[in-house]
Structure 1
Amino acid sequence: MVDPAGWRATGVAWAGLVGLAERRSAELVAGAAQLRSHWSGRAAATAEVRLSELRGELVTLAPAAIEVDQVLAEFAARVAAARARLAAAVELAATTGVLIDRRGRTSPDPVRLPAGRADQAVAAVAAGVRDALDLAAAADREAAGRLDRLSAAAESGWATRPPPGRPAAHTDPALVGLWWRGLTPTERRWLVAYEPELVARLDGIPVADRDQANRLLLGERRAELRERWGQLLGRVPRGPAELAGLRAVDAALTGLDALAARLASAEWPRAYLLGLDVAGEGRAVVALGNPDRAAGTVTYVPGMTAGLDGATDELGRAARVLSRCAELAPGQETAAVLWLDYDAPDFLHEAARDGQARAAGEPLHRFQEGLRATHDGPPARQTVLGHSYGSLVVGAAARDHGLAADALVFVGSPGVGVAHASELGVPPEQVWASTAPDDVIRLTRPPGELARQAVLGASPLVTVGELLAGDRDERWFGRDPTASAFGGRTFPSGRYGHTGYWDPANPALDGMARVVLGR
């Protein structure tokens, strides 16, 4: 089979044309402005029209280049899955005594395979080989068809303006999907190219289209941050607050640069940018692999202090779950999403309140509904994973709005806002939790209990002693989800502290991956 890495690299090269198209487009705008100031008359008007046409071609070239990258990346992913399935069939053949020739034909090894078991073993290996080859052939046909349609569109007319009427913000994702499917391919491309702000933020629009729109906006987002940085740097900071603001913008800009580098890399799997906001500490929604094509998707919600400055670190955690899924289920297409689309608490006193979690509930609900609405083929298994304060975000969303999820996972949780797993809207046997033995989150107690101790005049040493004593189930936000009385299920974690659940040696990583796979 072909090498998937070569196709992935080719796609990245196509995506690299976006920057060139944007630079040339800006040059045409500047050139047209210069012409207007020095030239008038019919010839000048004709020249300006032609420059505008050329700029329009460049504007529509950018999303086309991203689309080619998407097609080739998804083709490479499916070829990689086919290779994994073929490798599994070859391993099965080696262990059962089945021979495979260069054309994929199978036969029993007369020395190793007794006649009584030959037919069954040969059939199992042959089915594995056939499945791998069929997947590769289907991937080839699909990619070729998509590229042919792109080529035909480039010749016959790439983009046409759609009719009036756009969904408002926060429209139900199912209705957004209905509207989007009612447009022609050329109308969708026009919206991506000329109204990327609209396409970028609407849940219910397919992942590939949102990725194109958000990538087209990436340069503007960087420019916004740099402008804010310049404004702060241009005046002498007058106090700790302004210095803190300057450091925050610098950290967000560094984080955005790191995220942009990941988006532009040939690293596996391909990253899809589904949301980006540089206001405040910044927000980002990034998928590894295409959730619309995957058989299973995990949405990871990080906790306290999460922001744009650490987005690539959080994305790395999602990637480790995805990597473990690949080890456990070679050949299965799985995707992981970093959902950092809420204002995470920065300080402990903020994390002790649930206001920011409740505010995040509706956006997370809408995002998960969007994944359901845009998925190709049979519904995928959807898992939502929350860490620390992020587990409260997930719990509050499930409790207050409902989540399109087949399983919920909580790690290092201070409570999820309910007393029992049955209150989360999914079967209790699909509610999973893990807390490391040395996770400091075990020290959290209901705020009322701490206040009562303070009123009673308990000394700090007594308070700490009471916090450490016993195995109490109550946390800041309800019962500990790992407690038997909570009614969910648990998986083990080693002693890796509050942030070590993704350590490759921690059994918790294996537990998370198995839940994602439905195992």
Structure 2
Amino acid sequence: MDYATLKAFKPTEFEGAADGYRALGNAAQAAKSHIENTVATGMRKSLSGESAKASQKQLQALAKNFHYTLTECHVISTALNGFAYDFAAAKRKLEAAVEDARADGCTVTENGSVSYPAGRKPGAEKDTEGGTVTGTPGGNATSDALDRQAANIHPNPHYGKAIGYADRIADALKEATDADTKWEPKIRALKADDDLTVSDRDWTDVTADTGGVREAADAYLDAIKPPPKNDWPQDNANWWKGLTDEQREAYISMHPASIGALDGLPSDVRDDANRTVLAEQRAAKQIEYDAWLKKEPEHYKPYISPVTGREVKGAMVPTDEWKEWEEKRKKLENGYKGMDAIQSRFNSFTSESNRPYLLGFDGDNMGRAIVSIGNPDTADNVVTYVPGTFAKLESIGGDMDRAVALQAEAERQDAAHSTASIVWLGYDAPQGIMTDATETKWADNAKEPLGNFIQGLEESNHRPNGVNQTLMGHSYGSLVVGETMEMHIDLPVDNAIMVGSPGVGVDHAKDLNIPPDHVFAATAQNDLINVAPPFAKDYLSPKAYWDTFFDGDAIVHGTDPTSEDFGGQVFEVPDGKLPGTDWEMMPAHSQYWDEKPLGTMGKIVTGGRL
């Protein structure tokens, strides 16, 4: 980077280009929204048949194209703003050095060197001619000391200050050169394939682009006020309101997972951010899966009789290598089942009232997802359902079906008011009935994030009369709900529902910090959760265990919420299927979304009384 180039550089031109890409991204976002929320939904409501299905696939592909376009445009916009920010800082240093030099009687030449006039030191008999010096960047204590020594020795008193200005100019040029070196490969990488298909590889390229720009744009991003460290929903909301549109889009483009997880932010903002994370992680999973398929080893080998030790003619068995390969293949396949279920929900909703919003997403490990059916920011009623044992991203489809059913029932019962129904899988649920589910640690880790989420819903919903919130737990999820409500004494929850509960962590409904008559519970007669005993405090005492087992109100995690001693409201549900029906161990444990209990829960969610 030379003096003339930096002097002529105009950061506003790149900032203008950034604004253009940002506007293009916003236009793509508007187009995507129109296709998904108006065109596709309208067709699903009015058209059917093979042609309609084919049209839906084309619309989904087009929406995907626009999604990719808006994501990349916002990344490019951030890159250009970051590039301009770095160069503007270098140029300000250059201009300041030039201005100071001129004010001090020096002249900056066209190549950035500094000319100084003739001068005479005190005591000298005549002036010493002026000259021109070129600066050296990156001064340190040693070089600065040498410069001072040279200035003291030099007979012209202007020599020292000229060296100082020249070094400042050299520092500015080096800063600009470093910025150019840093940004050149990052910006060059911001290009797409020259086709009209957005592939999985394109989405992984977005991930790489974002990481590269985020690393390079650190100074620009650091200039934007970061989210509050306390992660309190109200503070998050105030932080978001204080940002400009440009800053918001920069944060979403560079930190989509973080923005998607911030309680208190508008639901459409979280949804946009999390859907980008979903698209990137789903693409990465597919690429990993496809690569693994290419590594399939020999499937079969001849069967060797353990009796004779000889090969059995015509008999073949899977190889050990293939078994290991197949086990990992199934694991990889299961890793994206939940992602596909979420995307399928976005591809199938029929109206604004049951439009899904992705309020949280993490595809790592067991996976996490928070999905709302309906917009909780505008809803009169919001119900948040916490699933229990065995819940994980892989099986989120079934939990979303439950949320859909409850939302539809609530709006059927109370068509004058809107209801948003949320499945909150924002925690790692236990994966074993007699092992993990007997421990409270899963609920202990979930109660703070669930409380923040509920508080965030209250913050993002600004209805004049407030929002009617219901917190619902099924199975182990009821323990999560109970611990959360006990911990947060001022949680904005109006009603609580516990179904198939092993206990909610408290002995009385009043301990949940809402009126006991707003706490509702039900357990089917044939639900095996009824015979799950609490654990004796003294494992070495048979009598202690016997007394505990036959304490009719005591279950695994406290007092049975359907007992009279608990003090809440109990509603009726069918007995449910007997254990072993259809080869299921606990079929009744999953029947709380059948017609009768669903109707009762819809009544509770909409503020009705039993």
Q: CA 1:25 to 1:369, structure 2 compared with 1: closer, same or farther past 3 Å?
A: closer
Indicate the residue corresponding to 1:420 in structure 2: 508
CA positional deviation for 1:248: 3.5
Q: Report the Cα distance in structure 1 between the residues aligned to 2:347 and 2:365, rounded to whole angstroms.
A: 24
For 1:24-423, list aligned pairs within 5 A: 164-168=224-228, 171-227=231-287, 229=289, 234=295, 246-268=329-351, 269-348=354-433, 349-378=435-464, 379-402=466-489, 403-423=491-511
Q: Report the Cα distance in structure 2 between the residues aligned to 1:277 and 1:27, rounded to whole angstroms.
A: 21
Q: Report the Cα distance in structure 1 between the residues aligned to 2:525 and 2:562, rounded to whole angstroms.
A: 11
Q: Report the Cα distance in structure 2 between the residues aligned to 1:381 and 1:213, rounded to whole angstroms.
A: 26
Letter in 1 for 2:480: V
CA positional deviation for 1:322: 1.1
Q: Is the 8 A contact 1:170 1:202 kept in 2?
A: no
Q: Is the 8 A contact 2:40 2:59 kept in 1?
A: no
Q: Is the 8 A contact 1:365 1:397 kept in 2?
A: yes
CA positional deviation for 1:17: 4.5
Q: Report the Cα distance in structure 1 between the residues aligned to 2:264 and 2:222, rounded to whole angstroms.
A: 18
Q: Over residues 388-432 of structure 1, what are the superposed CA-to-partner deviations in whole Å (9 max), with x where a residue is unaligned? A: 000001111112234331111100000000011111111111111
Q: Over residues 323-371 of structure 1, what are the superposed CA-to-partner deviations in whole Å (9 max), with x where a residue is unaligned? A: 1112211231110111001111111210011111111111101100110
Q: CA 1:51 to 1:298, structure 2 compared with 1: closer, same or farther past 3 Å?
A: same
Q: Report the Cα distance in structure 1 between the residues aligned to 2:279 and 2:226, rounded to whole angstroms.
A: 25
Residue range with higher mean Cα deviation, 20-29 or 211-220: 20-29
Q: Is the 8 A contact 2:296 2:325 kept in 1?
A: no
1:478 has 2:558 as partner: yes
Indicate the residue corresponding to 1:503 in structure 2: 594
Q: Report the Cα distance in structure 1 between the residues aligned to 2:326 and 2:469, rounded to whole angstroms.
A: 42
Q: CA 1:186 to 1:162, structure 2 compared with 1: closer, same or farther past 3 Å?
A: farther
1:434 has 2:434 as partner: no
Where 1:176 maps in the other structure, the secondary structure is helix
Q: Report the Cα distance in structure 2 between the residues aligned to 1:217 and 1:324, rounded to whole angstroms.
A: 31
TM-score, normalising length from structure 2? 0.57
Indicate the residue corresponding to 2:181 in structure 1: none
Q: 2:65 aligns with which of 17, 20, 23?
A: 20
Q: Report the Cα distance in structure 1 between the residues aligned to 2:276 and 2:503, rounded to whole angstroms.
A: 39
Indicate the residue corresponding to 1:9 in structure 2: 42
Q: Report the Cα distance in structure 2 between the residues aligned to 1:48 and 1:279, rounded to whole angstroms.
A: 30
Indicate the residue corresponding to 1:139 in structure 2: none
Q: Is the 8 A contact 1:293 1:375 kept in 2?
A: yes
Aligned residues: 386
CA positional deviation for 1:249: 3.2
Q: Is the 8 A contact 1:162 1:187 kept in 2?
A: no
Q: Report the Cα distance in structure 1 between the residues aligned to 2:324 and 2:552, rounded to whole angstroms.
A: 39
Q: Report the Cα distance in structure 2 between the residues aligned to 1:191 and 1:319, rounded to whole angstroms.
A: 32
Q: Over residues 77-136 of structure 1, what are the superposed CA-to-partner deviations in whole Å (9 max), with x where a residue is unaligned? A: xxxxxxxxxxxxxxxxxxxxxxxxxxxxxxxxxxxxxxxxxxxxxxxxxxxxxxxxxxxx
Q: Is the 8 A contact 1:406 1:430 kept in 2?
A: yes
Indicate the residue corresponding to 2:10 in structure 1: none
Q: Report the Cα distance in structure 1 between the residues aligned to 2:572 and 2:538, rounded to whole angstroms.
A: 29
Q: CA 1:231 to 1:446, structure 2 compared with 1: closer, same or farther past 3 Å?
A: farther
Q: Report the Cα distance in structure 2 between the residues aligned to 1:300 and 1:26, rounded to whole angstroms.
A: 31
Q: CA 1:407 to 1:452, structure 2 compared with 1: closer, same or farther past 3 Å?
A: farther
Q: Is the 8 A contact 1:298 1:335 kept in 2?
A: yes
Q: Is the 8 A contact 2:275 2:358 kept in 1?
A: yes
Q: CA 1:352 to 1:376, structure 2 compared with 1: closer, same or farther past 3 Å?
A: same
Q: Over residues 131-176 of structure 1, what are the superposed CA-to-partner deviations in whole Å (9 max), with x where a residue is unaligned? A: xxxxxxxxxxxxxxxxxxxxxxxxxxxxx98951211566100000
Q: Over residues 36-92 of structure 1, what are the superposed CA-to-partner deviations in whole Å (9 max), with x where a residue is unaligned? A: xxxxxxxxxxx999999998xxxxxxxxxxxxxxxxxxxxxxxxxxxxxxxxxxxxx
Where 1:498 maps in the other structure, the secondary structure is helix
Q: Is the 8 A contact 2:224 2:247 kept in 1?
A: no
Q: Is the 8 A contact 1:291 1:371 kept in 2?
A: yes
For 1:485-500, list aligned pairs within 5 A: 485-496=565-576, 497-500=588-591
Q: Which 5+ residue runs of structure 2 have no aligned equivalent?
A: 1-36, 45-55, 76-183, 193-219, 298-319, 577-587
TM-score, normalising length from structure 1? 0.66
Indicate the residue corresponding to 2:534 in structure 1: 446
Q: CA 1:398 to 1:50, structure 2 compared with 1: closer, same or farther past 3 Å?
A: closer
Q: CA 1:350 to 1:182, structure 2 compared with 1: closer, same or farther past 3 Å?
A: same
CA positional deviation for 1:439: 1.0
Larger radius of gyration: 2
Q: Is the 8 A contact 1:283 1:308 kept in 2?
A: yes
Q: CA 1:395 to 1:377, structure 2 compared with 1: closer, same or farther past 3 Å?
A: same
Q: Report the Cα distance in structure 2 between the residues aligned to 1:479 and 1:277, rounded to whole angstroms.
A: 34
Where 2:335 maps in the other structure, the secondary structure is helix
Q: CA 1:383 to 1:457, structure 2 compared with 1: closer, same or farther past 3 Å?
A: closer
Q: Over residues 217-247 of structure 1, what are the superposed CA-to-partner deviations in whole Å (9 max), with x where a residue is unaligned? A: 2221113433554676648787999866553
CA positional deviation for 1:280: 1.0
Q: Over residues 480-517 of structure 1, what are the superposed CA-to-partner deviations in whole Å (9 max), with x where a residue is unaligned? A: 0011110111111112211100012xx22112111111
Q: Report the Cα distance in structure 2 between the residues aligned to 1:52 and 1:224, rounded to whole angstroms.
A: 19
Letter in 2 for 1:435: T
Residue range with higher mean Cα deviation, 12-21 or 413-422: 12-21
CA positional deviation for 1:194: 4.0
Q: CA 1:25 to 1:227, structure 2 compared with 1: closer, same or farther past 3 Å?
A: same
Letter in 1 for 2:594: D
Q: Is the 8 A contact 1:248 1:281 kept in 2?
A: no
Q: Report the Cα distance in structure 2 between the residues aligned to 1:176 and 1:501, rounded to whole angstroms.
A: 36
Q: CA 1:367 to 1:434, structure 2 compared with 1: closer, same or farther past 3 Å?
A: same
Q: Report the Cα distance in structure 2 between the residues aligned to 1:49 and 1:484, rounded to whole angstroms.
A: 66
Q: CA 1:180 to 1:243, structure 2 compared with 1: closer, same or farther past 3 Å?
A: same
Q: Over residues 262-305 of structure 1, what are the superposed CA-to-partner deviations in whole Å (9 max), with x where a residue is unaligned? A: 12334341100111111111110000000000000000000111
CA positional deviation for 1:255: 2.2
Q: CA 1:22 to 1:486, structure 2 compared with 1: closer, same or farther past 3 Å?
A: closer
Where 2:602 maps in the other structure, the secondary structure is helix
Q: CA 1:226 to 1:431, structure 2 compared with 1: closer, same or farther past 3 Å?
A: same
